A and B are shown apart, each in its own frame.
Chain A
Amino acid sequence: MKDPADRVARFVDDLLHRRRPRRFEATPEEAEAMTAAAGLASARVGADLPDKEALERIHARLSGALDDSPVFDWRLTRRAWLRTAGTAAAAVVIGVGLDEIARGRQQPTGPGDLGSATLMPDNGSWRPVAAVSSIPPGHAVSVTTASVDAVVINDSGNISAVSGVCTHLGCKLQPDDANRKLDCPCHQTAFAWSGKVLYYRLKASPANLPRIPSRINDGQVELYIV
């Protein structure tokens, strides 16, 4: 393997087999060819998308490293300070220490990881809202019934549903499948498919989207609603 063409061919072989390529000292010419090969390895649709396991591993490692370290800056902007001051006041009432907030464990005001509410209507029943086949994996579809606006999500075959209405002022959410989120058209706010607030342009975080119980029955997605 002394010839540049051979070494680059081996590098390309590794990429095409989705293996971590062997390391070696590359000449500038080889490096040039190798960077092009890396780009072309994305040429097959979906080749550059992470699988679910990879995402879970990354999330777990970030979680391990970040959840114990302070990420809060006390040199705050005025706006953030006011927001925090409000939370601090609330924290006193519900008995949460300020240091908990400082560690970023708490949302400034929204429920954050404290969870999304689940819609449980008093007189609910399972009602079909869409054919499973009409929602391909990786897609979210808005459905409207007499009682709710919902978004049904197919995440790699796992079906779930959340409220389709922004928790801020009630605008109808628009699915952005490419980025696996639901956008509020009104105030630049977005929710993850799980219902969690991703970002917002509001003075305080809106609540996470309520989840709606869902199941598959006889090829239909059914929601537990009124």
Chain B
Amino acid sequence: MPMPELRVLGPEPEPVPDAMAAVYPDWESVYHDNIVGTYQLVFRKVGNPADAEDLAEEVLMHTLKTLRLPAPVPTVRAYLVKTARTVLADHWRRHYAVRDAATELEQVPLEIPTNPDAAERAQRLLTLLPDNFRSILELRFLRGYSVREAANELGVTESNARVLQFRALRKAAQFEREVLR
């Protein structure tokens, strides 16, 4: 039995050579593909949902108003990361008078996260710290203890617990810079 002739309804889009990266056709595509990653990226630098929402929006808004679409995926992602750095540095400068935030952020590799590895990374950072530093930060950040509860658990005064927390965080920041890069 002869094969029925297939009618071609229209030309199929053809693949283009590898040299040309995938492209985002419109702003909605950029949004859908990057909003969660951008949010995570800024969350890790501000630590709270309200600021993360504002800054993620600012990063997307600036990028989408600046870049012309369609644009290659890597171009858009690189621009998002660059914008995130600027927006974050500005945030720390405006609200906490931090002057060297830009330099600081330059040193930290910022990437649009492709997998949910923040928790893993933060927990790895904790394992690097000396025992007493690790304890206070685990109680606070992983188990959600208040300063008072953490102080009771560790058998120190609340005031000592706050000082311990402060020192532990500075140590963590140093490890973050030097070890986990």
Binding site for B on A (CB under 8 A): 3-6, 8-9, 12-16, 18-21, 23-26, 28-51, 54-55, 57-59, 61-62, 65-66, 69, 71-73, 79-80, 104, 107-110, 112-113, 168-169, 178-181, 186-190, 192, 194, 196-206
Contact = CB atoms under 8 A, between A and B. Distances in A.
Contacts of B173: 32-33, 35-36
A17 to B, nearest CB: 9
Given A19-B48, A45-B116, A107 B26 contact: yes
Contacts of A44: 119, 141-142
B178 interface: no
A38 B24 contact: no
Given A18-B49, A39-B44, A50-B39, A110 B33 contact: no
Contacts of A73: 68
B137 A197 contact: no
B153 to A, nearest CB: 15
Contact of B116 (A57, A61, A168, A178): A178
A211 B31 CA distance: 21
A20, A50, A58, A199 pick with most chain B CB within 10 angstroms: A199
A200 B27 contact: no
Given A62-B64, A69-B65, 6 more contacts: A5-B159, A19-B50, A50-B39, A79-B20, A107-B25, A169-B12
B128 interface: no
Contacts of B78: none
Contacts, number: 261
A35 B46 CA distance: 7
B131 interface: no
A55 B13 contact: no
Contact of B96 (A13, A19, A23, A108): A23
Interface in B154-179: 159, 162-163, 165-166, 169-170, 172-174, 176
Interface residues of B, number: 80
A14 B57 contact: no
A192 B32 contact: yes
Contacts of A113: 26, 28
A176 to B, nearest CB: 9
Given A35-B173, A190-B33, A202-B16, A58 B56 contact: yes
Contacts of B26: 104, 107, 112-113
Contact of B28 (A13, A50, A196): A196
Contacts of B123: 43
A19 B47 CA distance: 9
Interface string B62-79: 001100111001000000
14 contacts: A8-B169, A9-B162, A13-B147, A32-B173, A35-B104, A58-B35, A62-B57, A62-B60, A71-B68, A104-B69, A180-B32, A190-B33, A192-B33, A194-B32
B5 interface: no
User: Which has the most chain A C-beta neighbours within 10 Å: B12, B25, B40, B114?
Assistant: B25
A40 B170 CA distance: 12
